[in-house]
Amino acid sequence: MKLKTLAFAAALAVSSAAQAQSAKLKVGLMLPATGTFAALGTAIENGFRLYVAEQGGKLAGREIEFVKVDDESDPAKATDNVNKLIKRDNVDVLVGTVHSGVAMAMAKVAKDTGTLLFVPNAGADAVTGPMCAPNIFRSSFSNWQPGYAMGEVMAKKGHKNVVTITWKYAAGDESVKGFKEAFEKSGGKVVKELSLPFPNVEFQALLTEIAATKPDAVYTFFAGGGAVKFVKDYAAAGLKKNIPLYGAGFLTDGTLEAQGADADGLLTTLHYADSLNTQRDNSFRLAYAKAYKLQPDVYAVQGYDAAQMLGIGLAAVKGDIGKKAEFAAAIEKAKIDSPRGPFSVSKAHNPVQDIYLRQVSGKENKLVGVASKSLADPARGCRM
Amino acid sequence: MDFATFLIQCLNSLQYGLLLFLVASGLTLIFGIMGVINLAHGSFYMIGAYMAFALAPVVATTFGGGFFAVLLVGTVLAVLLGYVLEWAFFSFLYEREHLQQVLMTYGLILVFEELRSLLVGDDVHGVQPPDILAGTLPLGEMMTYPVYRLFVSGVCLALALGMWFVFTRTRLGMMIRAGSTNREMVQSLGIDIKFLYRVVFAAGVAIAVLAGMVAAPVSSVYPGMGNSVLIICFVVVVIGGIGSIRGALLAALLIGAVDTFGKVLLPQAAGVLVYVLMALILLWKPDGLFKAA
């Protein structure tokens, strides 16, 4: 008798577990867990999980189950990794990633298979350009956006002749292109476009070129270790006090501790800043700090917003992700209540957002003002 | 390019070349003389840079010393690390094929990167040069030149001179050179070749770590920094001729010049110029500029 009850209870437990399984929504997180971008991957995942936790671990009534793959920021392994998530793990939704090359491979597979994809960082213009698709969304930015905003800012400051310097790779090229478009439209002139191979950090020769050219100002796109070294070398070469330096926000994001006093006063443009001081941002920062004992950054915000966008889409279709058209329509109509400030998405699914002008002061990117209001990426090459 | 700019670019290329030599010279020792393909060389450089960052507060509180004390402590630790690594891993590799050496040293890269991530994290850090070297010298009307970069060049020259002296003018150098030509013969002459190699290996590691520490204030400290120097180090050693310190110095200066002027004059091709240079030199001299005797 006793044995029978036990077996019954066990059978019950098994069947209810199976039922919960079928109701769970599988989210495949393909983010960097090792390598240069590991810290960014962690911030994105933290942000994403924070929103899901705030909703009680469920979005539109469906429990969320995470499957993780380390993408190693290696484009060569990207297609295999995405296919693993889709075919082996049967994920319903893909989230990733930081590196643009890897994100492009993910977009390609997502486009072919129709799997939902949320890009929480990679800024390659093409993701919401030629690669755009009804099932691909971006919660971050396009490389074009901060560059374009800075072009307007520098033209307004009265600079006429500007030199640009960046790594010769997609993100750098796209950022400079956006900058040049806005700056030359307002009557300025890019007198020289300097570049060096990625990820080379020997800047001395090019700094000498800048000194010889004597421009009114310099626009730059660098990130991570390269950004630290560039800002320090620029100051050490004595250029900082003679030729003002401006950059896309990545120049001074996550790097201020290492750059020290050499970064003081630098002006950069990005869709987030350290002292927005809105109620929405303050409550987000407090919740994040409580949950992870860390200060959030722009990457955490992008992860958080990717989860919000997923939540909005799911709510509209009551958790049934088969209804792709309604899912997309709901996100396209929505105003996403982001810590960075509310934004909507363009037809190509890239955020239409305010780009802020920030100034470095005391190891923070302090808000100066809005550089460009509701800036939308032109989505060149997108047919949808 | 006017003449003043040209001179400054020459100074830049000299300085970059010397820095390359500093980083690559440890590899010349280990790869060139001991014949072990050591892919983990970049990791030793990375360890050095992280030591300059992480040891500074520890050294300051225990010994009360500044940057130079860190260099000293770091070098001592590096010799120990090299000695232990040789004893535990590399001593088994001398008789093996190159492929097995590549596999093991590649494994070491992964281990060191992961340890770095666990111990120090994945953030980017900066290291301040010591106060007495923190100044700048005026250069032309617009630019200044950091004194610390001159100090780095000085360290490179001193190291090049020191290595040349030890190898060609001392008994120890003679034994090492003999050992690289014929291990068994040297052993039969009553020289403890095992111990000798352990010392050479430790020295190679120490030089790489020292290079990382000295370069840290100008290069900043970041994950994956070791891998970025590894390839260029191999280029230096191969162009210079395997095992030749004189060759490595010349190769490093040559690469410095090609890279600096390439970036300015031919920016589209800057990424490949160094490798084109290597290909041309190997066509002309398949053993590199100076092959060790």
Distance between CA A208 and CA B41 in Å, rounded? 31
| Closest approach of B113 to chain A, Cα-based (Å) | 8
Distance between CA A157 and CA A103 in Å, rounded? 35
On whether the CB atoms of residues A138 and A124 are closer than 8 A, the answer is no
Q: Does B126 contact A257 at a Cβ distance shorter than 8 Å?
A: yes
Give chain B positions within 8 Å (CB) of A237.
Answer: 143-146
Angle, CA of A203, A208 and A213, to the nearest 5°: 125
Is residue B150 classed as helix, strand or coil in its secondary structure? helix
Distance between CA B156 and CA B218 in Å, rounded? 14
Exposure string for B250-273, b = 16+ CB within 10 A, e = fewer: bbbbbbbbbbbbbbbeebeebbeb
Is residue A67 classed as helix, strand or coil in its secondary structure? strand
Among A350, A344, A179, which Cα is nearest to A251's?
A179
| Closest approach of A228 to chain B, Cα-based (Å) | 7
Is residue A26 classed as helix, strand or coil in its secondary structure? strand
Structure confidence at residue A8 (pLDDT) = 53
Bridge partners, residue A370, by sequence: A356
Give chain B positions within 8 Å (CB) of A260.
Answer: 126, 128
> In percent, how much of chain B has pLDDT > 70?
99
Q: How far is CA B118 from the centre of its chain?
A: 25
Q: How far is CA A52 from CA A49, A349, B256, in A?
A: 5, 22, 52
Distance between CA B147 and CA B167 in Å, rounded? 31
Interstrand relation of A58-59 and A62-70 (parallel, antiparallel or unpaired)? antiparallel
A295 touches chain B (CB under 8 A): no
* One-character DSSP codes across B82-130: HHHHHHHTGGGTTTS-HHHHHHHHHHHHHHHHHHHHHHT-S--B--PPP
Name A263's Cβ contacts closer than 8 Å, sequence gap at least 6: A231, A252, A255, A256, A360
| Closest approach of B194 to chain A, Cα-based (Å) | 36
Structure confidence at residue A20 (pLDDT) = 40
On whether the CB atoms of residues A25 and A93 are closer than 8 A, the answer is yes
On whether the CB atoms of residues B146 and A67 are closer than 8 A, the answer is no
Give chain A positions within 8 Å (CB) of B260.
Answer: 202, 204-205
Q: Is the pLDDT of residue A10 over 80?
A: no
CATH class of A10-141+276-345: alpha beta
| pLDDT digits 0-9 by tens, A220-232 | 999 888 899 999 9
Q: Does B224 contact A35 at a Cβ distance shorter than 8 Å?
A: yes
A213 touches chain B (CB under 8 A): no
On whether the CB atoms of residues B98 and B31 are closer than 8 A, the answer is no
Domain locations in chain A?
Answer: 10-141+276-345, 144-270
Which of A225, A254, A259 has the CB atom closest to B225's CB atom?
A225
Chain B from 130 to 169: CB within 8 A of any A CB: 136, 138-140, 142-146, 149
Among B207, B166, B175, B170, which Cα is nearest to B194's?
B175
Give chain B positions within 8 Å (CB) of A201.
Answer: 219, 228
| pLDDT digits 0-9 by tens, A111-131 | 999 999 999 999 999 999 999
B192, amino acid identity: D
Among A156, A155, B12, A179, which Cα is nearest to A193's?
A179
Angle, CA of A353, A358 and A364, to the nearest 5°: 120
- Classify domain A144-270 by CATH number: 3.40.50.2300
- For B208, phi and psi rounded to 5 degrees? -65, -45
Distance between CA A186 and CA B278 in Å, rounded? 46
On whether the CB atoms of residues B235 and B255 are closer than 8 A, the answer is yes
Handedness of CA A285, A291, A296, A299 (dihedral sign): negative
Look up residue A24 and give its DSSP letter: P
Q: Does B143 contact A209 at a Cβ distance shorter than 8 Å?
A: no
Q: Is the pLDDT of residue B139 over 90?
A: no
Distance between CA A62 and CA A55 in Å, rounded? 11
Distance between CA B200 and CA B183 in Å, rounded? 14
Residues A252-256, mean pLDDT to the nearest whole number: 89
Q: What is the mean pLDDT of chain B?
A: 89
Name B19's Cβ contacts closer than 8 Å, sequence gap at least 6: B152, B153, B156, B215, B218, B256
Give chain A positions within 8 Å (CB) of B113.
Answer: 34
Exposure string for A277-307, b = 16+ CB within 10 A, e = fewer: eeeebeebbebbeeebeeebbbbbbbbbbbb
A237 touches chain B (CB under 8 A): yes
Interstrand relation of A267-270 and A217-221 (parallel, antiparallel or unpaired)? unpaired
| Closest approach of B190 to chain A, Cα-based (Å) | 47
B111 touches chain A (CB under 8 A): no
Give chain A positions within 8 Å (CB) of B271.
Answer: 168, 197, 200
| pLDDT digits 0-9 by tens, A54-75 | 999 999 999 999 999 999 888 9
| pLDDT digits 0-9 by tens, A316-375 | 999 999 999 999 999 999 999 999 999 999 999 999 999 999 999 989 999 999 999 999
- Confidence category of residue B167, pLDDT binned at 50, 70, 90: confident
Distance between CA A85 and CA A94 in Å, rounded? 8
Q: Is the pLDDT of residue B98 over 50?
A: yes
A254 touches chain B (CB under 8 A): yes
The complex scores an ipTM of 0.83
Q: Does B123 contact A258 at a Cβ distance shorter than 8 Å?
A: yes
Q: Does B143 contact A207 at a Cβ distance shorter than 8 Å?
A: yes
Task: Compute the CA torsion angle B182, B184, B188, B192 (nearest 10 deg).
Answer: 90
Structure confidence at residue A6 (pLDDT) = 52
Give chain B positions within 8 Å (CB) of A45.
Answer: none
Distance between CA B201 and CA B146 in Å, rounded? 33
- Confidence category of residue A18, pLDDT binned at 50, 70, 90: very low
Q: What is the mean pLDDT of chain A?
A: 91
Closest-approach residue (CA) in chain B for A197:
B271
Q: How many CB atoms lie within 10 A of CB A24?
A: 13
Distance between CA A113 and CA A356 in Å, rounded? 36
Q: Is the pLDDT of residue A4 over 70?
A: no
Give chain A positions within 8 Å (CB) of B263.
Answer: 196, 202, 205-206
Q: Does B228 contact A199 at a Cβ distance shorter than 8 Å?
A: yes
Bridge partners, residue A29, by sequence: A68, A95
Distance between CA A373 and CA A356 in Å, rounded? 9
